[in-house]
Amino acid sequence: MRAIRRFTVRPVLPPALAGLGRLAGNLRWSWDPQSQDVFESVDPALWESTGRDPVKLLGAVGRRRLEELAADEGFLSRLGAATDELERYLTGDRWFQRRLAAGEQGPRAIAYFSPEFGITASLPQYSGGLGILAGDHLKAASDLGVPIIGVGLLYRHGYFKQSLSREGWQQESYPVLDPDGLPISLLREENGARAMISVALPDGPELLARIWVASVGRVPLLMLDTDVEGNPEHYRDVTDRLYGGNSEHRLRQELLLGVGGVRALRVFCRITGHPAPEVFHTNEGHAGFLGLERIRELTVAEGGPRLDFDTALEVSRASTVFTTHTPVPAGIDRFPLTLVEQYFSEGGPTPGVPVERVLALGSEDYEGGDPAVFNMAVMGFRLAQRANGVSQLHGQVSRGMFNGLWPAFDEAEVPIGSITNGVHAPTWVAREVIELAVAQGADPESDDTSGFWAAADKVPGAEIWAVKRTLRERLVVDARKRLRRSWEKRGAAKAELSWIDNALDPEVLTIGFARRAASYKRLTLMMRDPERLKSLLLHPERPIQLVIAGKAHPADDGGKKLIQDIVKLSDDPEIRHRIVFLPNYDIAMAQPLYPGCDVWLNNPLRPYEACGTSGMKAALNGGLNLSVLDGWWDEWYDGDNGWAIPTADGVEDIDHRDDLEAAALYDLIENDVAPRFYDLDAEGVPTRWLEMTRHTLKSLGPKVLATRMVRDYVRQLYTPASVTAHRLNSDFHGAAELAAWKKKVKAEWPAVRVDHVESSGVGDAPEVGDGMSVRAFVALGSLSPDDVDVELVHGKTNGEDVLVETVVDSLHVAESYEGGRHRFDGDVVLDHSGSFGYTVRITPRNDLLTSRAELGLVALP
C-alpha cells in the first residue's frame, strides 16, 4: 500500500551530544575528515549503510547508543574538538578578510545563481559538471572567506537515478526527496512563520515558494521550493525535477530561479541581517532573468529609487557577472519568442518592465540568428558588463560563437574573458594523499598552495606507490559492489555472479572515464576497434582495465544508445573482468573513482569541451591525464604531466576522424602509457611513472584548485564589478549620466567617420626600429574627442591584407576644426620584420566601459 503522506521524524539528541546536530547541520562535514571521523565512530556500520549521511545516521541510530555516547568521555572529547574547529572555521579571518585588512577592495557580498549545486551525495540537486562546479565554487569561497550567497532551486526528485535493463538500456527513476530528511533548514520569519516569496505568472494565481537554507561552511545556499500549500498542482510541479519537462516548464523554473531568487535574497538579508549583495554572478544563462527583477526593483518597486529603464539597466549591468559554460549551441536554453512575450506581458513576473525591452534583451537580432527565439545566453551577455568562459580555449570559442553580438569587432576583441575552472581539493583528494604531504610538513591551509604540492618531491616513491595501490584497491572493492547491485537489478541470479569477485584487479593499470553521455564527449571512441581494445585489456604482461560511468539525458536516445553499446561490450565474458560500466554516476561514486584511477581518459570532439574538471580531480590524486587537447588540458598540458591524444582537426568525415583519433589513442596506451606503468625497479616501484606523478602534482596542483579559481573571480570580476557599481549607484547620478551618454553616442554614431589618414617617416625600404607617424582626420558630429578613442591598429598582414596579431595604440587629438572635425596624431615603431599593415578606427570611450567593444560600435575608413 502507498502512503498518503510521508515525512521525516528528526531525532532528539541528548544535551551532551548537541554538537552532533551542529556538525550535521553544516555541510562542511562533507569535506572535513575530522567531522566524518566523529560520525563514523557513532556507528561504523550504520555510517556506511546510510551512505555516509549524518542526517540519516542520526535518524537511524538507537537511543541506547546515543546514551552510551553521551557518557563516553573519549567520544565527547573528539566531538568537542570537532565543534570547536568548526566554530574557528566559521568565525576566523581567512584569505578574503586578510585581503581587506591589507587595504584591498572587495564587495560586501556576492550572489551566485545556478540551476544546480553539487555539494554532497546526500543533497542530490545536481546533474553533472555545471552543478559540481557550482558546489566547488561555494566550498572554495567558504574556505577563502569570500562572502558569497548561493541561490538555486530545491527539486523534489533531484536528478534521476540511473539503472540498466537486462539489455543494457538506461532506465530512470525519480525517488521523492523529503526536505526534512536533508541537511537543510526552512527559512522562517521572526514570528516563526515560514518565509515565502511569490512570482506572478500569466495563467493563474501567483506562484508561491518557500526558502530552504543549506549551510555550506560559511556560505548560505538558498533553495526555492514550490511544493507548498496554496499552489495549484501544476505550480507545485515547477520544482519537480532538474532539467525536466517541456519548454514552458523550463521557462517557469528559470523565472523562479532568476526573479524569485532575487526576492528570496531580499527576504534572507532582511531576516538575517546579512549584507545585501553588491555583485550578482549568473552561472550559465538559466538564471538570467535575475537582471530583469533587479531592473524592476529600480524602476517600479515600491520604496525603490524609481529610475528610468536605461539608467536601471546600467546599474544592474555594472554589478553583474555572466559565466557561459557551453561551447555547443544546443546547450543553450532558447525559448519561443511568443512564449516569453506571453509570460512578460501585463500581469507577468516583472510588472512595469516593458515587454518589448525584455524581448530585445534575448533577441537573436544578428546575422545567423533566429528572430523567432529568445536566447538566454544572449540575454546573459546583454545584462552583464563582465562575462567569461571557463578555460582559455573556451573563452576563445565563446568569442567566436557570440561574435554576432559585436559584429564590428574582430573575434579577439569580443568582450568575453576566461577564468579556468578549478576543483575543491578537500572534497576530491583522498585523505591518504593529503597525509603524505602533511607528513613532510606541508600546510594544507596555506595561502601559498605551491608549497603544499611541492612536497611530492620529498615523499619516497615506495610510499606514493603504496598509497596509489591502496586507493586502487578501494576503487575495485567499491566497483564490485556497484557492479553486483547493477547486475541484480538487471535480473541476474546471484548464482551467475561469482565472476564479479574477480572483476578488476588492484595490480592492473586502471583507466577511468566518467562523464555525461553527450555525443561530442565520445563515450564509445575507445570501442572503434573492439579487437585492438581487447588486446590491450588482455595483454599478458601489460594489461589495462577500464572503469566507465555516465548518464544520458532522459530525452537523449542517442546518448542512451552509446551507454548500451558500452554495456554490451563490458558484458562479454572474455573481458568483463577488465572493463566495467557503473550506473548512477554521482558524487558518492566519484570520490573513490578519481583517486583509484592511474589514468584519466578524456576524448571529446575538439573544441567542444568547455573545461572538463574530472581530469583535474584525478591529477590532484596523482593520476595522469590522457586527453585530447581541449578545455583546461589545452592550456596546462606541458608534455610531462600526462599525454595528449593527437587529433585529426580539419577532417570533415566524422567517422574517419574518430577512426584516426581512436588509433592514436590505442597507440599511446600500448606504446607509452602501459610500458611506463609496468616498468618496475628492483623494489617493484615504477620510477619513471612516479616522475610524471610528482611533476603532475607540482605543475597542476596549484593551478587546478577551486580556491585559485575563486581568487581569480574576486580579483578579475567581483572586485572590479563592485567598484564600478559603487561609482554608478551611490546616488544613481553616475548611472543616469552613463545611460544618457550611451544614448547620445548611439544616436550620433552615424555621423562618426574616418575621413582621411596620412603617414610619414617610412622610406622605400623600412627597417626594424624605424618610426612611422600617423595623422588621422576624423568627423565626430556632435560628439567631443573625449567621447571617443581614435586608434591606430597595426600588426602583421596575411595574404589577403587582413591584419593579424594586432596591437592597438590610441592617437591623441592635435587640432580641432569647424563642423565637428578633428586631427589625431600618433607614432609607432616598426618592431618586427616581415609584413606590416595598419588602419585607423574610432570607438566609443568612457571610463565606465569595461572594453572598447562594449557598445558594439566602431567607425573605419
**pLDDT per residue as tens digits for the range 66-109:** 999 999 999 999 999 999 999 999 999 999 999 999 999 999 99
Q: How confident is the model at residue 9 (pLDDT cuts 50, 70, 90)?
A: low
Residue whose C-alpha cell is 560586501: 108
Q: Where are the beta strands (DSSP E) in 157-234?
A: 161-164, 170-173, 185-186, 196-199, 207-216, 219-225
**55: Cβ contacts below 8 Å, ≥ 6 apart:** 24, 122, 181, 182, 183
- pLDDT, mean of residues 768-781: 93
pLDDT at 536 over 90: yes
Q: 598 exposed, middle or buried (CB, 10 Å; 0-12, 13-18, 19+)?
A: buried
Q: Position 395: which residue type?
A: G
Given this model, what pLDDT does residue 241 score? 94
pLDDT value of position 798: 84
Sign (positive/negative) of CA torsion 443, 448, 452, 454? negative
pLDDT band at 537 (very low <50, low <70, confident <90, very high): very high
**Using CA atoms, how far apart are residues 350 and 345, in angstroms rounded to an integer?**
9
Interval 108-117: pLDDT, tens: 999 999 999 9
Helix (H) or strand (E) holding 591: helix 587-596
545-566 confidence digits (pLDDT tens): 999 999 999 999 999 999 999 9
pLDDT in tens, 784-815: 999 999 999 999 888 777 888 889 999 999 99
| Rounded CA separation 214/55 (Å) | 13
Least confident among 36-50, 261-275, 302-316, 332-346: 302-316
Residue 769, pLDDT score: 85
Q: Compute the average pLDDT of residues 172-190.
A: 93
Instruction: Name the nearest CA neighbour of 665 among 754, 604, 713.
Output: 604
- Average pLDDT, integer, range 477-506: 95
pLDDT, mean of residues 495-523: 93
Statement: residue 7 has pLDDT above 60: no
Q: From CA 703, how far away is CA 344, in angstroms rounded?
A: 43
- For residues 476-495, average pLDDT: 95
Q: What is the DSSP annotation of 518-531?
A: -GGG-TTGGGSSHH
Quote the pLDDT of residue 10: 64
Give the Cα-Cα-Cα angle 261, 151, 248 (nearest 5 degrees): 55
**Residue 11 — pLDDT band, cuts 50, 70, 90?**
confident
Give the pLDDT confidence score for residue 3 in this predicted structure.
Answer: 61
Phi, psi values for residue 624, rounded to 5°: -105, 140
The pLDDT tens digits for 728-750 are 877 788 999 999 999 999 999 99
List, in sequence order, the alpha helices (H) in 455-510: 461-489
Q: Where are the beta strands (DSSP E) in 386-524?
A: 386-389, 417-418, 509-514
| % the chain with pLDDT above 70 | 98
The size of the chain, in residues, is 861
The H-or-E segment that residue 562 falls in is helix 557-570
Question: Tell me, what's the pLDDT at 640?
Answer: 95
pLDDT at 797: 84
Taking 90 as the threshold, does the pLDDT of residue 652 lie above it?
no
pLDDT digit string, tens, across residues 451-462: 899 999 999 999
> Are 547 and 566 a contacting pair, CB within 8 Å?
no
User: What is the tally of helices (H) and strands (E) in the chain?
Assistant: 32, 27
Residues 370-409: pLDDT tens digits?
A: 999 999 999 999 999 999 999 999 999 999 999 999 998 9
Q: What is the pLDDT of residue 763?
A: 76
Return mean pLDDT, the chain: 94
Which three-class secondary structure state does DSSP give residue 29? helix
The pLDDT tens digits of the residues spanning 581-596 come to 999 999 999 999 999 9
384, 349 contact by CB (below 8 A): no
- In the predicted structure, residue 198 carries a pLDDT above the cut 80: yes
Q: What single string gives the DSSP state of each residue in 306-361? A: ---HHHHHHHHHHTEEEE---SSGGGS-EEEHHHHHHHHSTTSSSTTS-HHHHHHH
Check whether 766 has a pLDDT greater than 90: no
Asked if residues 419 and 140 have their Cβ atoms less than 8 Å apart, the reply is no
* Cβ(826)–Cβ(773) below 8 Å: yes
Residue 247 predicted with pLDDT over 60: yes
The per-residue pLDDT for 447 is: 84
Res. 6: pLDDT tops 60:
no
Give the pLDDT score at 305: 74
Q: Are strands 417-418 and 386-389 parallel, antiparallel or unpaired?
A: parallel
> 399 vs 121, 392, 405, 409, CA distance in Å?
35, 11, 10, 10
| Residue type for position 363 | S
Please give the average per-residue pLDDT across 824-852, as a whole number. 92
